[in-house]
Each structure stands twice: as structure tokens, then as C-alpha cells.
């Protein structure tokens, strides 16, 4: 009989029982707080004892290379806050067919200066009801088409040899309806029904619906699904085939922690906690960001620090800043290591559409005033839609109403406004609230697709200029920049999803197209669109890596330019100062700044004063004080 992965690893460790004083001292450090929080939620001694026992086994199963890396990272806890960190996210099949394919493309990733890859969901899921892999049917099995757990372990080891960190999604809010727990629950097994939210009639679901907003109002309205065979409602905040887990049940918490540690032991460096604000439900609330969610994330952080201290937690909190920041926890009781800078991302596109940097400057001032321990992931777009979560209180003062402004942005990025060159599609347009989100690749939203269609060379230069300027600006923000795979060669929207019945209703697939390796062959051809984008991005990456003012611990602030379309950002670290100026308009402009001293343009090497700087349409400067 074929051995399962776990059996094999356990056997290996039994042969070489490792004296592990580190585990004991890590457990000691966190035990009291962990126990306190566990009891607060579950008041269950035996389940807590079971948890501690299993932590020890997962620690024993961790291989030597990972343990060495844990120890190294514990000794240099800021290892991930350096200026050379650059991420890239991609779907394995789209990028390189399967896990082995990714392993064979590591040289390309190195060429991209990428040292952190986010492998989009790759665990077992059922085609046709997978939500891009976010409906997990088995947390310990890789999708057959992509490979095996052994392939994953081999990939992470190969990445580590090249200094590349690997991130994966941990979808802990729900399982797929095809997960074995869900199958048993559907058959009426009470033990498993209690791991989800089951209701025999609609009385309680109706009470929930009164206060809980909808995630997918058009593609999956409501928060419950009726199961005719089980004669029960089940809670499904996302798609009907994604069943919300009930974390009030300590069995759910324990088992999900074991899954987390199992995955960490495959060599994963960064665990992205999917949809984290949703994991605790209480009747009469919005079921978002409840205090118990923070208790769980805090426990998860401690569990990670006890078993696999080299592993980072990245929280997915796609909400307004006041809701996001608490997921960092406090300095004494940290929760996530990193969070997405989502409001900045949305505000960036608002700025592209309006050519007015005021709101973005205000948003950056807020982010820049936060403690430097808070590390953000910066991105221009990801695999999800762009939701227009902007500071409407401020926009209102400028006469921009929420509904009309969202309408404007959606019209703009669909290419309807006269001065727009963008291409893309709406996502979950809600006829009731008038709300809609947006989907498109960076290049398509910058005008590359339209210029390509119209064979307009001048428009293409402008579009590439905007694309590069946005990346240059994103690299200047405090935190870790993450590219979406394909954006480095300016990949366009992919409309083929409409022909696939499993995808047609979900327009997010428009910006999740397969990597075009034919196009990627042109990265050295400076006359091609791909070569231009890749080459200029590469230069930015090299500059960022070479300049210590880009470390996360640097001071970062905005500088008034006295021009509504020009954003200026300063960075300072250990005597080195860099200022970045970014032109969000299609006109040449002057930044009326007066920074003392002599400066050098980091892109061209030329000397330049940082005083009344003329800056071309969609241009930018990185100026370093000499
Ligand atoms: C996260 C993912 C998104 C998915 C959802 C449900 O928000 O980014 O793609 O649909 O979780 O798991």
C-alpha cells in the first residue's frame, strides 16, 4: 500500500528523534497566554491538552532544513522587512502547467527579481465549484492536475535554495461541500453538522440575513443555502458550495490548526489567511471582525511561533483602514505579520481616473503615521476585483457622492469616459444598491489593450508610461511590493473565460489569464511592448534592491507639490534620502517642491536639483540626495 505523506514523515522522525529544547522554550513562552485565550473561547481542558500534544508532533515532524531556517529567522526577526523583498502571485496552471513546471521556471522568476511567490490555491477542489480553488475539498491533497504533496515539498525546497519564499492560501473560513466533513454533515451526522452552521428551518437564517451583508450579491446572493437532500439550511457566506466553518466548535479550531501546521511543514513560508474577518459568527451582528476573530488569529500566531517560527501570517482583510489595522495586533501581542494595503490600492486607481492626488496623499499620510512594525503588502491589482472602498467622507467634501463616484469610476475603467483608455469589466454589479466592483489587468487598465487594438504607437507609449509610473510609485510605498504574474510583460485582459461555463459568470477570470510564454520570449527585445515593460520594471527592481532607503523601517512621508496631479513621496533611512515624484496626468507638469541639497536621478544617473521639477506626462523621478 502507498504510504501517505504524514506516515512517512512520522517514521523519518522516529528514526532520528531530535532533542528539541527550542520547542519546549517556545511553548513555555506562549503557554499561559495560549491557554488563557483557548479557555476563554472553548473552556475545554482536554481539547487544549490535545492541541499542545499535536503541536509537539508537528514540531518533531518539521525537517532539519526548515528548523535551521526557523532558528535563523528567530535570530533575525526583521528578515522579511528588507528592501530586496519582491513578490509575485500566480495560479500554478496558468503560470507553468503544474508544480514541476513552476520549478522549471525558477530562473525566470529570478530574472524578475522575485524572491517571494504566492502560489494561488492549489489544494484539492472540484471543477465547476471551486471559486478559483477557494473551495477546498482536502487540505492535505494537491489538485491532481497540479501535482502531489511531494512535488510541493520539492518545489519549496528548490525555491529556498534560490532564496525564494513560498506563500499559499489557507482558506479557513469555509470548506468545499465536497470536503469529507461536509459530506458527512450532509448525511445527517451530528458530529459533522456541528462543524458548520445547520438549521432545520429559516427562522435563524432570516435573523442572520437581517444584519449580515452579502459578499457576492449578484453571483451568489444571500448567506444561506437550502440543501433539499439534507432538509437543512447551511451557512454559505460566499458561494453556495463554500460552507462556513463553525469555530465555536473546538474540534474545528484544532483540526484547522493541524492543517495549517501540516502545510507549514511542506516548506511554506507565508500563510495567507483567506477571508479572515469572517471566521466568527454571532447572531445580531454583521459577522465581520468580531473580537473572537482576533483571539483566533492571536492563537494562530502563537501556534506558529511555537512550531514553525520562520512562517509568516498574511491576513486578507479587504476592508476600510480602521478594520484592517487591528489585525496587526499590538506590539506585545501581535497577530498578522503582514496585511494588504487595500485602501491604498483602490485609491490609486481613483487617482488614475481623476488625475487628482489629494485623496491618495491623505491615505498615504494615514499609512505613514502607523508604527513601522506594521508591514503592508502593496499591489496594483490581484486575482480579485477592485472594490471602490474609498474615503467617501472626504470625497463628499469635494462634492463627490459615493454612488455617483463609483458609477464614474466603473464607467471610466470600462473605457466609457472620453479621456479613458482603460479596458475591463464590472464585477457583482448590484442593481439594488447600484454598487459594482471592477476587473482588469494592470496593462489593460492603463491603456495598453486599447493602444494595441488601435495600433496607435503614441497611445502605446503613453499607456506603458502610466503602467511603469504606477509600478514606480507602488515600489516607493512602505512595505513589500507584489506583482501579479504576467503584469511584468503587460499581459492584457483574457476574455476566453466567457466560453467556459464554469467561469463565465465570474468576471474575475478576465484578469487571471494564462501566462503567454511566447510574449515572455520578447523580454529582451527593447522595441516590443513586453521588452519595454519588463526592462523598465527590472530597472526599478534593481534600484529598489540597491537602495537601503527602501527598507520597511525607513521614514516615509508625502511632500506637497502644489499641483493636483503630482504625488511626491520622501523616504529616509540612516542618512540616505530619496524622493519620488509621480505624474498621474497625461500632461507635462512641474512639481513646485523645494528640497535642499544636490540630487541624482537614480534611473539615469544624471544630477538634478529637487527644486521646481518639470516632469513629463505619466512620468516619474526617483531622486537621491548626494
Ligand atoms: C478571498 C479570495 C477570493 C475568494 C474568497 C472566498 O477573498 O481572495 O478570491 O473568492 O476569499 O474564499
3-state DSSP assignment of residue 419: coil
- Confidence (pLDDT) at 20: 62
* Cα 10 to Cα 63: distance, rounded to the nearest angstrom: 11
Query: 306: which 3 cell numbers?
Result: 511555537
For the chain, what is the radius of gyration of the CA atoms?
Answer: 25
Ranges in the chain, pLDDT < 50: 1-19
d(CA 355, CA 93): 37
- Ligand 1 in contact with 136 (CB < 6 A)? no
Best CA proximity match to 617, nearest among 592, 599, 580, 590: 590
pLDDT of residue 320: 87
Tell me what pLDDT residue 234 has.
98
Instruction: Say how far apart CA 213 and CA 222 lie, in whole Å.
Output: 8
Q: Which atom of ligand 1 is nearest to the CA of 383?
A: 9
Ligand 1: nearest atom to the Cα of 318: 7
Kind of pairing between the strands at 338-340 and 312-315: parallel
Q: Which cell is 45 given?
A: 481542558
Cα(387) to centroid of ligand 1, in Å?
13
pLDDT in tens, 267-286: 999 999 999 999 999 999 99
Regarding the beta carbon of 132 and ligand 1, being less than 6 Å apart is answered yes
Name the closest-CA residue to atom 9, ligand 1: 384
H-helix or E-strand containing 305? Answer: helix 291-307
Catalytic residue numbers read: 274, 316
Contact 529, 449 (CB under 8 A): no
- C-alpha span between 174 and 134 (Å, rounded): 9
What distance in angstroms lies between residue 99's CA and the mean position of ligand 1's atoms?
A: 22
> Three cell numbers at 23?
520547542
**Closest Cα partner for 336 from 157, 80, 541?**
80
Is residue 108 within 6 Å of ligand 1 at its C-beta? no
Nearest Cα residue to 581 out of 422, 367, 357, 368: 357
How much is the pLDDT for 64? 96
CA 621 to ligand 1 centroid distance, Å: 36
Distance CA 176, CA 238 (A): 11
Question: What nine digits make up the cell of 190?
Answer: 451530528
pTM, two decimal places? 0.94
Collapsed DSSP state (helix, strand, coil) of residue 179: coil
Amino acid at each position: 500500500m502507498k504510504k501517505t505523506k504524514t506516515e512517512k514523515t512520522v517514521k523519518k522522525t522516529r528514526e532520528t528523534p531530535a532533542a528539541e529544547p527550542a520547542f519546549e522554550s517556545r511553548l513555555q513562552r506562549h503557554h499561559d497566554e495560549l491557554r488563557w485565550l483557548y479557555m476563554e473561547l472553548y473552556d475545554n481542558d482536554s481539547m487544549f491538552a490535545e492541541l499542545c500534544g499535536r503541536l509537539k508532533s508537528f514540531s518533531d515532524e518539521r525537517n532539519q532544513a526548515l528548523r535551521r531556517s526557523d532558528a535563523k529567522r528567530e535570530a533575525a526577526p526583521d528578515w522579511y522587512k528588507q528592501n530586496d523583498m519582491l513578490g509575485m502571485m500566480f495560479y500554478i496552471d496558468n503560470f507553468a502547467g503544474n508544480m514541476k513546471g513552476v520549478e522549471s521556471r525558477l530562473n525566470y522568476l529570478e530574472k524578475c527579481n522575485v524572491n517571494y511567490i504566492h502560489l494561488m490555491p492549489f489544494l484539492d477542489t472540484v471543477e465547476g465549484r471551486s471559486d478559483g480553488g477557494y473551495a477546498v475539498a482536502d487540505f492535505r491533497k494537491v489538485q491532481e492536475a497540479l501535482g502531489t504533496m511531494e512535488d510541493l515539498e520539492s518545489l519549496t525546497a528548490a525555491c529556498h535554495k534560490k532564496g525564494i519564499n513560498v506563500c499559499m492560501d489557507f482558506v479557513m473560513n469555509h470548506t468545499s461541500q465536497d470536503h469529507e466533513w461536509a459530506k458527512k454533515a450532509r448525511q445527517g451526522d451530528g458530529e459533522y453538522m456541528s462543524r458548520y452552521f445547520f438549521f432545520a428551518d429559516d427562522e435563524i437564517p432570516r435573523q442572520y440575513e437581517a444584519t449580515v451583508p452579502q459578499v457576492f450579491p449578484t453571483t451568489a446572493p444571500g448567506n444561506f443555502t437550502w440543501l433539499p437532500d439534507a432538509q437543512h439550511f447551511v451557512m454559505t457566506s460566499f458561494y453556495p458550495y463554500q460552507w462556513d466553518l463553525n469555530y465555536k466548535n473546538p474540534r474545528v479550531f484544532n483540526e484547522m490548526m493541524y492543517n495549517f501546521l501540516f502545510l507549514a511543514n511542506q516548506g511554506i513560508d507565508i500563510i495567507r489567511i483567506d477571508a479572515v474577518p469572517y471566521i466568527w459568527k454571532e447572531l445580531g451582528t454583521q459577522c465581520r471582525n468580531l473580537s473572537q476573530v482576533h483571539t483566533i488569529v492571536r492563537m494562530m500566531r502563537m501556534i506558529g511561533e511555537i512550531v514553525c517560527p520562520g512562517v509568516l501570517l498574511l491576513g486578507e482583510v479587504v476592508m476600510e483602514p480602521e478594520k484592517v489595522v487591528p489585525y496587526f495586533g499590538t506590539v506585545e501581542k501581535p497577530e498578522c505579520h503582514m496585511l494588504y494595503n487595500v485602501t491604498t490600492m483602490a485609491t490609486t486607481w481613483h487617482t488614475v481616473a481623476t488625475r487628482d492626488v489629494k485623496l491618495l496623499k491623505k491615505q498615504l499620510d494615514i499609512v505613514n503615521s502607523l508604527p513601522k512594525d506594521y508591514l503592508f503588502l502593496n499591489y496594483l491589482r490581484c486575482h480579485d476585483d477592485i472594490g471602490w472602498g474609498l474615503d467617501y467622507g472626504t470625497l463628499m467634501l469635494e462634492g463627490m457622492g459615493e454612488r455617483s463616484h463609483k458609477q464614474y469610476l466603473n464607467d471610466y475603467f470600462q473605457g466609457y469616459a472620453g479621456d479613458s483608455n482603460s479596458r475591463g469589466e464590472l464585477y457583482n454589479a448590484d442593481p439594488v444598491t447600484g454598487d459594482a466592483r471592477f476587473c482588469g489587468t494592470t496593462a489593460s487598465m492603463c491603456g495598453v489593450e486599447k493602444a494595441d487594438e488601435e495600433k496607435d504607437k503614441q497611445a502605446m507609449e503613453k499607456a506603458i508610461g502610466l503602467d511603469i509610473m504606477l509600478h514606480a510609485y507602488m515600489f516607493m510605498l512602505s512595505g513589500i511590493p507584489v506583482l501579479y504574474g504576467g503584469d511584468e510583460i503587460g499581459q492584457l485582459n483574457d476574455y476566453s473565460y466567457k466560453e467556459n461555463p464554469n467561469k463565465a459568470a465570474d468576471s474575475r477570470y478576465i484578469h487571471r489569464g494564462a501566462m503567454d510564454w511566447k510574449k515572455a520570449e520578447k523580454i529582451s527585445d527593447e522595441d516590443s511592448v513586453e521588452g519595454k515593460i519588463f526592462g523598465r520594471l527590472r530597472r526599478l527592481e534593481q534600484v529598489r534592491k540597491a537602495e537601503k532607503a527602501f527598507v520597511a523601517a525607513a521614514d516615509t512621508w508625502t511632500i506637497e507639490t502644489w499641483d493636483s496631479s503630482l504625488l511626491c513621496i520622501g523616504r529616509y533611512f540612516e542618512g540616505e534620502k530619496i524622493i519620488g515624484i509621480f505624474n498621474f496626468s497625461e500632461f507635462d507638469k512641474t512639481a513646485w517642491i523645494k528640497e535642499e541639497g544636490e540630487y541624482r536621478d537614480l534611473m539615469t544617473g544624471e544630477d538634478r536639483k529637487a527644486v521646481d521639477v518639470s516632469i513629463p506626462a505619466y512620468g516619474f523621478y526617483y531622486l537621491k540626495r548626494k
